């Protein structure tokens, strides 16, 4: 599933999840995976996850994790 910020900008895509968090893949020049709390999810709409914040929030308080293989 694609992940978008509250402003509609694409953030990445869900590559895995655990009980409390989504693992979101974001690619720029290289791949980064971030943990996003389920509490940060505003809604699921038309097959996309919409977050309560924008894409820049991943960089202000990054919760980067080692990319998983998929």
pLDDT digits (tens, 9 = 90+) for 30-63: 778 888 989 999 999 999 999 998 877 765 655 7
pLDDT at 45: 93
- Is 32 a member of any domain? yes
- Is 70 a member of any domain? no
- Is 10 a member of any domain? yes
pLDDT at 42: 94
**Residue 65 burial (CB count, 10 A):** 14
**In which domain, by residue range, is 61 found?**
2-65
pLDDT digits (tens, 9 = 90+) for 1-23: 999 999 999 989 999 998 899 98
Half-sphere exposure of 61 (CA within 13 A, CB side): 6
pLDDT at 59: 59
Q: How many domains does the chain have?
A: 1
pTM over 0.75: yes
- Is 36 a member of any domain? yes
- Is 23 a member of any domain? yes
């Amino acid at each position: 599933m694609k992940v978008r910020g509250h402003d509609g900008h694409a953030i990445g895509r869900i590559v895995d999840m655990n009980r409390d968090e989504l693992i979101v893949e974001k690619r720029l020049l290289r791949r980064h995976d971030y943990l996003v709390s389920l509490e940060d999810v505003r809604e699921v709409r038309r097959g996309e996850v919409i977050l309560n914040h924008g894409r820049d929030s991943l960089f202000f308080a990054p919760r980067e994790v080692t990319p998983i293989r998929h």
